[in-house]
Structure 1
Amino acid sequence: MPWSRPWMMQEFVSSTGENIGLGFIVIIFIGFLIGAALLARKNLRLGRGDRRGAVRLSLFVLAVTVLAWIIGADHSPTVDEIARVFYLAISQALCLAALVWLLYVAVEPYVRRRWPEMMVSWSRVLAGQWRNPLVARDILIGLLTGILCSILLRLEDLLRLLIGALPIDLQNSFPINSWVGTRRFIDTVFVAEMNSAIFIGLFFFFVLFLLRVITRRRWAAAILLAVILSVPGLVGSQSYLVVFTSVVIAIVAARFGLLALTVLFFFNDFMLMIDNFAPWFVSYAIVSYVFVLALAGWAFHTSLGGQKLFSVTFLESDE
């Protein structure tokens, strides 16, 4: 309407639905975190699980979080201010590393025993076997489905703009600081997103595993996971395409496992943060797209395991 304020001039105020969606997320998070703590305690007491892998993963998360602070923080020349920010960064890094360690210790022994194929590629990554064809396959699947999810979310934004509504990414506090320099770009788009994807991937993989234990059916668990992922978007920001993205996430988690799921979460957020071709950001966008294409090409080539893409053996006759 002519008298309606454009969405860019509208003040964002959280609605009742968004508060309900946020409350749902908090309840789910706390509930499953308590469950993870109980399972981890049991596994430690019984001596189960890949403790070396858990420590290696948590140390990686710790190092990446500290690296993000070193790269992206505004370092003050005063010793007191540097110490204050350093202690804050270390506390956040330790907290995230501890949560990742907890989730891994909780879920790894049970999945390895009951659902081992879901963690084969993940275990090979922790062992440094990056050139394994299965690892490359899951990275490629996670990359492509992450891009698909980001396209669906951007389509949602386009549809909302056509009806004069506020885009989803602006409702969710889009990280504009990723556009204000190389340091912040590397920190926000690469380093921080890597840690976020690891934690979120582990968390929802843990949720999927518990749902499978309850339902005793893989696809029943996947359907319930899709429902859990859809509720905050449907109730909160009234995003309807989130149902499709939730289904994609659930299928990847149930079919391909932890590594593909983690890569999906990374590239979903990654693509949403680099699709900006404004003059001040276009160089970062180009570099990012080159990175995505290079990784996809490497993953595709490695996943072939040395086999030729187009075999000509069918032209050869038996003698």
Structure 2
Amino acid sequence: LRRTGLPVDALTPASPLRVPPSYADERVAWTLPVGADGRAPARIEAAALSGRPVYFEVLRPWSAGWDARGRGRGPAFEGPRLIVAIVAVAVASLAALWIGLIAARSFRTGEGDRTGARRFSAVVGGLDFAARLIGASHVPVVMEEAKLIAGTLAISVAIGAGSWVLYMVVEPYVRRFWPNAMISWSRVMRVRVRDPLVGRDLLVGGALGAWMGALLLLSLYVSGGIAGPHPINMLVPPALTGGRHVLGALFHACLFANWEFLIAFSLLVGLRVVLRHPHVTLVVYVALWPARVLLLAGWEPLAIGVELLYAGILVVLMLRYGILATFVALLCKALCLVFPLTSEPWRWYADIGLVAVVVMSALVAYGSFHAVGGFRVFDELLDDG
């Protein structure tokens, strides 16, 4: 307790309410009144096995599992969250069946872009394989390394196959309903990366993606309270150790962006097919995004507002600029969550956070350069001079 920095003298023993994630033979809990540590009230839950700590958690009012009376509660679904969970499971099951049928039909009839799907799935599978190998613990034993590589390869091939299926489902419908969204993406699939339209989408996607990441980080900071700094928010904590894990975090950011990009377009396409009317589709699509907040954290007005704004930006990206800009925006947003960004350069992790800034700046700079025609602009300026 003293190592956490909490005021031990202000803690009051309480009955433990949380179930630890691992086996324990002793459970304890304390409550901390508001203002005792300069922040909101807290509830501390801990557990031990044979005298050794196995679980420790500090709950605040914004934590999942905290109710209005200031008591911790179990993570079981109840009330609106239970309804949302049931609906989510039903929709996911129907979506999986629909995706399988549509992918089979697209492959059989030749509607889908097989070349693009093959290249896309190969890149996704390769990134997943590299990210897993980089983050794995290696030992100087040939058989152990062979088992690790074989198991990792099997998982990555399955993930690449899943990406191929989703691509074969989404691509024909996007080409039918929003043909302009495919132009720059098709050029990238054919390695025409110096095209001005590709540069435009990189520029727009990078700029809006940085705003989306900043929006999510701001919501975390506000919900964490003004009185104290929010903990480092990272999806890949090993990146803090530096070295190869930084490269692994970059690959993970690409994978996070890939899955969110596929899910976002799959949901939009599914709603468009079912509802048929484009404006109704957009309204329902934007309204569905806060559902995951209700599912994970209950009624959180700030988080729901952020999700609505986030969904609005995403719709503008998908329909106005297309697939490439959407993917780049989600990649930049993922970089903001994968790397520890901070405005205080003296923090010990500040240099690792700069990796995300450099990557986003490089994307925007490359897009800006080619959006205006690349070196041809300078040649024209010199000729005019």
TM-score after normalising by structure 2 = 0.71
SS for the counterpart of 1:77 is coil
For 2:86 and 2:155, how far apart are their aligned partners in 1? Answer: 23
Greater mean alpha carbon deviation, residues 25-34 or residues 124-133: 25-34
For 1:44 and 1:167, how far apart are their aligned partners in 2? Answer: 48
From 25, 35, 42, the counterpart of 1:5: 42
TM-fit CA distance, 1:235: 4.3
Greater mean alpha carbon deviation, residues 129-138 or residues 248-257: 248-257
**CA distances 1:123-164 after superposition (whole Å, capped 9, x unpaired):** 111100111111121122221121111111122112212278
Task: Name the amino acid aligned to 1:10.
Answer: V
Greater mean alpha carbon deviation, residues 210-219 or residues 130-139: 210-219
| Alignment root-mean-square deviation, CA | 3.1
Q: Does 1:185 align with 2:246?
A: yes
Q: Equivalent residue for 2:350? A: 282
SS for the counterpart of 1:119 is helix
Task: Name the amino acid aligned to 1:296.
Answer: V
Task: Name the amino acid aligned to 2:316.
Answer: I
SS for the counterpart of 1:305 is coil
For 2:42 and 2:357, how far apart are their aligned partners in 1? Answer: 35
For 2:245 and 2:84, how far apart are their aligned partners in 1? Answer: 30
Q: Equivalent residue for 1:315? A: none
Q: Equivalent residue for 1:202? A: 262
For 1:144 and 1:194, how far apart are their aligned partners in 2? Answer: 17
Greater mean alpha carbon deviation, residues 23-32 or residues 36-45: 23-32
Task: Name the amino acid aligned to 2:328.
Answer: V
**Of Structure 1 and Structure 2, which has the larger fraction of its residues in strand?**
2
For 1:218 and 1:308, how far apart are their aligned partners in 2? Answer: 39
For 1:29 and 1:169, how far apart are their aligned partners in 2? Answer: 32
TM-score after normalising by structure 1 = 0.84
Q: Does 1:213 align with 2:273?
A: yes
For 2:87 and 2:211, how far apart are their aligned partners in 1? Answer: 26
**Of Structure 1 and Structure 2, which has the larger fraction of its residues in helix?**
1
SS for the counterpart of 2:373 is coil
Alpha-carbon contact 1:39-1:106 (below 8 Å) kept: yes
Q: Does 1:152 align with 2:215?
A: yes
The percentage of aligned residue pairs carrying the same residue is 26
Alpha-carbon contact 2:64-2:296 (below 8 Å) kept: no
Q: Equivalent residue for 1:125? A: 188
For 1:158 and 1:252, how far apart are their aligned partners in 2? Answer: 26
Task: Name the amino acid aligned to 1:5.
Answer: A
From 308, 321, 325, the counterpart of 1:243: 308
From 136, 152, 155, the counterpart of 1:73: 136
Alpha-carbon contact 1:133-1:303 (below 8 Å) kept: yes
From 68, 80, 100, the counterpart of 1:37: 100
The higher-RCO structure (CA 8 Å, 6+ apart) is 1
Q: 1:182 to 1:92 in 2, by over 3 A?
A: same
Alpha-carbon contact 2:242-2:352 (below 8 Å) kept: no
